[in-house]
Structure 1
């Protein structure tokens, strides 16, 4: 669905994107992670033909971009650098105009399609209000509604939850997963680790313009070789496990063990009560920070930004 080879963009002496090889497969929910300023938005703009690459190639739906933009873009929904809209018009009027200008939609079904798109993003009840009265989160929803007008095979979204409250983030996540189950491939650019971890099946990590990691999320969340053990008999467990306990926090122990089931048999057989026992797995946060060498402040692990993030976006 998306494939790039050596994709590079320079602005004078600055290399914003450096030989990026993306591989987004049909059916993916692909999370394109990177700190602000890492080159994410520049990459997305090159994918859509909005910016010309300095070097390398990009394909969408198996066709070269931007050469095949006229053929490809009717099947691609996108939201890049915030939604565009005419502020004096309502959300419904904006979508009708976008549909007439950009998607080639059938006029007879336009009103229905616009209404459906507004309903899907939670704006059906406020679409008579002029967009200048919309909050940032409502504008984000309107931009997503615009992307959905063309019933896309591929969605390319740049920070789609920017400005949304926690409920709004959950709503958009649920919508994107619903679309994916119905056959839409989703590409989401974000710096929100928690959102990517909860939603995506495949992850690419951009750091200072370079793609430093690209894997299935399930493979990244592999076991660490340790087991998390909760027991009211912590002292007995520590004595029994003879140096394999790496950390203790009250009744919770971190145990170096490859097989949780074997450990459970050993503990129960020795009369140690087990309240919790599960393999420890790598988190996306730990994997990303290790791959980038970045500090935790470079990514947001839990919360979406509360306002527009213009100056530092990639």
Structure 2
């Protein structure tokens, strides 16, 4: 598997403060990588270093197999990015802003520029905005325009910092589907966010940053793999205890945790004993539980809204 983003001992100091403290990122081709952390944990600083916008204090960065920031001119035209919200000329339309952005890079022939701009606007749901100036856009529309700018050059790697900021639930869902479509077409996505629900629904791998340190990095499927226990939903937890002879490890209301990773076997024993069963499933840790355990944080450090 080809490594798309790799850092080694990456550090960024501001005076005595270590905003980023020796992190080793590894993003593989084909990942949708969720870079999680509370606001102020160092996510945006890391992303800016990856793209050569901020120089690291120490450590190494490779982007698409090239050393950064030295190889920026060779690499960055293959990368689409949206960092810290989009920046646009308010008196120009979205179409005009994207045309200027396309002209400033290596997006392709000027003869096909209008086609590329129209396609990018259509992708993010702004195909019908016409000549309306960007200063009249809502926050969500400006975020969509920023995404369109990141997609102009059909990037191999898409780096996004809080891409759903300012979007309503429908907009968040549409951006999620857009990123999944891009991923299916071969784009690797690096997504910085503090929203666990967004990452859990979208990403294949996760890195967790806490106060500048990378405290967790693994495949999402591994982090949320079954624990070896079964969750039983029942109106009579006491009868579950009696029927399963010491296999019950915890009870929370009508939710009973039972040792054993075969729900069918558990169900058969309970039904034979006449225990009412409303549902069974393998127990899996939530991403919220995994992140909070790794970061040693209280729930208000990372947004766990669903």
Indicate whether 1:186 and 2:174 are aligned.
Answer: no
- Which residue number in structure 2 is paired with residue 80 of structure 1? 83
Structure-1 separation of matches of 2:110 and 2:235: 68
Aligned mates of 1:233, 1:190 — CA distance in 2 = 41
Counterpart of 1:110 in structure 2 is 113
Q: Please name the residue that 1:249 is paired with.
A: 253
Picking from 129, 137, 140, the partner of 2:140 is 137
Q: Is 1:32 matched with 2:35?
A: yes
Equivalent in the alignment of 1:290: 293
Higher relative contact order (CA 8 A, sep 6+): 1
Give me the whole-angstrom Cα distance separating, in 1, the residues matched to 2:121 and 2:174.
Answer: 13
Q: CA–CA distance in 2 between the matches of 1:8 and 1:163?
A: 30
Structure 1, gaps ≥5 residues long: 304-314
RMSD between superposed Cα atoms in Å: 1.5
SS at 2:227 equivalent? strand
1:126 paired residue among 124, 129, 133: 129
Say which of 162, 175, 178 aligns to 2:178: 175
Measure how far apart 1:284 and its partner are. 0.5
Alignment size in residue pairs: 302
Alpha-carbon distance between aligned partners in 1 of 2:301 and 2:130, rounded to the nearest angstrom = 36
Q: Is the 8 A contact 2:123 2:178 kept in 1?
A: yes
TM-score (norm 2): 0.95
Match of 1:310 in 2: none
Could you tell me whether the CA contact under 8 Å between 2:11 and 2:56 is conserved in 1? yes
Of 183-192 and 225-234, deviating more is 225-234
**C-alpha deviations, 1:4-24, integer Å up to 9, x for none?**
111111111111101110000
Q: Match of 1:92? A: 95
Deviation, 1:233, is 5.4
Give runs of aligned pairs for residues 1-314 of structure 1, distance below 5 A.
1-231=4-234, 234-245=237-248, 246-250=250-254, 252-302=255-305
Write out per-residue CA displacement over residues 165-188 of structure 1, whole angstroms, 9 at most, x where no aligned residue.
111000000000100000000000
Q: 2:105 aligns to what SS in structure 1?
A: helix
1:27/1:183 contact within 8 Å kept: yes
Secondary structure at 1:224's aligned position in 2?
A: coil
Q: Conserved in 2, the CA contact under 8 Å of 1:231 and 1:276?
A: yes
When residues 294 and 4 of structure 1 are mapped into structure 2, their CA distance, relative to the original with a 3 A threshold, is same
- Residue 256 of structure 1: how far off its partner (Å): 3.3
Is 1:118–1:127's contact at 8 Å kept on the other side of the alignment?
A: no
Task: Classify the secondary structure of the residue corresponding to 1:143.
Answer: helix
Secondary structure of 1:247's partner? strand
**How far is the alpha carbon of 1:235 from its aligned partner?**
4.4
Contact 2:244–2:269 at 8 Å: present in 1 too? no
State the SS of the aligned residue for 1:103: coil
TM-score, length basis structure 1: 0.92
